Amino acid sequence: MLQTVVVGSISIQGIFEKREDDGRVIVRVDNRLYAGRPVERRIN
């Protein structure tokens, strides 16, 4: 599943790996892992 996270002022979209206890989400882009705050889904 694709997930978007925010790291500082940059948004990164990657494959969801796991959710940390502090609320951060880990995503994978190629062979790199990024941890950031999840972007909330917009409800119409």
Residues 1-44: tens digit of each pLDDT? 999 999 999 999 999 999 999 999 999 999 999 999 999 888 87
Q: How many CA atoms lie within 13 A of 4 on its CB side?
A: 7
The confidence score (pLDDT) of residue 20 equals 98
Report the C-alpha gap between 15 and 20 in whole angstroms.
Answer: 15
CB burial readout 4-43, b (16+ within 10 A) else e? bbeeeeeebebeeeeeeeeeebbbeeeeeebebeeeeeee
